[in-house]
Chains A and B, each alone.
Chain A
Amino acid sequence: MKGKAISIHSSRGGTGKTVIATNLAATYANKGLNVALLDLDFRAPSLATVFSKGIRHPVRHWLNDVLDGQCTVEQALIDVSEGYNLRGRLLIGLANPAIEAIRNIMEKSRAWEVTAVKKLFSLRSTLFNDMNIDCCILDTSPGVQYSSINAVISSDISVIVTTLDSIDLKGVENMLVELYDTFAKRTVVLINKVFPETRFWSSERQKDLISQMKKVLKHPIIGVIPCYCDVLEAKRTSLLAVEKPSHPFLRNLEEVAEKLEHVI
Chain B
Amino acid sequence: MAAKTKSSTLNTKLLLTRLVDALSQVNEKLDSIIELNGKILKMQEEFLQRITNKSYPMTELKLEPDALSLLSLPMSLRKTVMVLYKLEKATADDLANETKRLRAVESASANQLVRMGYLKKRREGREVYFYIESPMEMRK
Contacts and interface: CB of A to CB of B under 8 A. Distances in A.
A117 B71 contact: no
A69 interface: yes
Q: Dominant SS at the B interface? A: helix
A229 interface: no
B82 interface: yes
B71 A113 contact: no
Contacts of B71: 178-179, 182
Given A114-B132, A115-B134, A121 B85 contact: yes
Q: Dominant SS at the A interface? A: helix
A121 B86 CA distance: 5
Given A110-B64, A111-B64, A153 B82 contact: yes
Contact of A153 (B75, B85, B132, B135): B85
Contacts of B69: 110
A234 interface: no
Given A111-B134, A111-B135, A183-B78, A118 B67 contact: no
A114 B64 contact: yes
Give the interface size class of chain B. Answer: 20 to 34
B35 interface: no
A43 to B, nearest CB: 16
Interface in B41-91: 64-71, 75, 78-79, 82, 85-86, 88
A150 B86 CA distance: 12
Contacts of B1: none
A56 B69 CA distance: 41
Interface centre among A114, A117, A146, A154 (most CB of B within 10 A): A114
A195 interface: no
Contacts of B88: 118
B10 interface: no
Contacts of B132: 114, 118
B136 A115 contact: yes
A117 B85 CA distance: 7
A121 B87 CA distance: 9
A150 B78 CA distance: 14
Contacts of B66: 110-111, 113-114, 117, 146
Nearest to A152: B67
B137 interface: yes
A183 B71 CA distance: 8
Interface string A172-196: 0000001100111000000000000
B139 to A, nearest CB: 10
Contacts of A144: 68
A69 B136 contact: yes
A110 B86 CA distance: 18
Interface of A: 69, 109-115, 117-118, 121, 144, 146, 149-150, 153-154, 178-179, 182-184
Given A179-B71, A183-B78, 4 more contacts: A112-B136, A113-B64, A113-B67, A146-B66
Q: Which 7 pairs show the lowest CB-CB distances between chains A and B?
A: A110-B64, A149-B67, A110-B66, A113-B66, A115-B134, A121-B86, A115-B136
11 contacts: A109-B135, A110-B64, A110-B66, A110-B69, A112-B135, A113-B66, A117-B67, A149-B67, A153-B82, A178-B71, A184-B75
